[in-house]
Amino acid sequence: MTTDLLPALTAHATATAHARRGDRTHPGSGPCRCPAEPLVTGEDDTTVVRHATTVAKAHAPGTGPAHLALRVATAAALPGILLPPLSPAPVVLHGRLVTHWPYGVPVDPDDPDAAPWESAATLLARLHRTPPPLPVPPMRGPGKAAHAVARLRTAAPRHPATAPVLDAWAALPPWARGEAPTPDTATLCHGDFHLGQLIRHPAAGDSWLLIDVDDLGTGVPAWDLARPAAWYACGLLAPDEWHRFLTAYRAAGGPAVPSDGDPWATLDVPARALTAQTAARAVTKAVAAGRPLDEVERSLVDACARMGSVPASSPGP
């Protein structure tokens, strides 16, 4: 992120919120005293700023304007599943594409018992069952995983945890490494699902909605289930929570897995890919910070090491 982007984005979010003050989403009619608040800087150099109920997001450098516009328009077309944008088209600020969104209440990371696994699974099933309303590009999940692995190769080529991660990655089919077309070119997918991609918003009756369309597109729907599946396989997600998530997805008619029986024939490859991606990011962060891997990070690397003893199954080439 350039040093002048954050203050410029903050000022932009403030101005956009003030322009919306005729809308009841911005509180009050007197002088606005709501401070602008940076929310997150993503690993791909995205930056998000909130002012009152308006959120401005600066997307990563190199984001394609045509593809982003299609993704934003798709969110506008599916308001019961995806958070609708405040404006239909991205704008350019300091050379970065910026989109505008209403602020919603995220999942509380300090209350894991309240994690909305059933709601998340139902939203994903609805998304996967919905024909794309616009010709969106392929979802970016495999490409982002490949980027994380490439960064690991550059940042930590001699770290002892790097070899098992790279070996696990190399054993995946080309489509899961972003090196070949996805086997499914028709199913609409989120592309980067985790609990941080959910918010509650009054416009949806205070129900949950999916956010973050950067990776939205067509692809293998099992990719959207892969992070919870990987956490479960690594012992980082309790069996009861995984069962709730999977059961709700199936009950909602989600097409990513069979309606009953063993789901791993379709989940195996995406879950392995997400495990390798997450492990690659963990090792890269640890090396950058000059610290050893923590317990969770070691469990991810250990899972990559175990993958070599069991061949991967795949839903496609």
Confidence class of residue 24 from pLDDT cuts 50, 70 and 90?
very low
**Which residues are CB-neighbours of 197 under 8 A, at least 6 positions away?**
190, 210, 211, 212
Written as six digits, the tokens of 206 are: 């205070």
Calculate mean pLDDT across residues 226-235: 96
For the chain, state the CA radius of gyration. Answer: 20
168-215 per-position pLDDT tens digit: 999 999 999 999 999 999 999 999 999 999 999 876 677 999 999 999
3-class DSSP assignment, residue 223: helix
Residue where the block lists tokens 């309240």: 114
Q: Is the pLDDT higher at 296 or at 114?
A: 296
Confidence class of residue 20 from pLDDT cuts 50, 70 and 90?
low
**Domain architecture of the chain: domains with CATH:** 5-102 (3.30.200), 112-307 (3.90.1200.10)
**pLDDT of the residue at 42:** 54
The average confidence (pLDDT) of the chain is 89
31-77 per-position pLDDT tens digit: 455 555 655 555 567 889 988 888 999 999 999 999 999 999 999 99
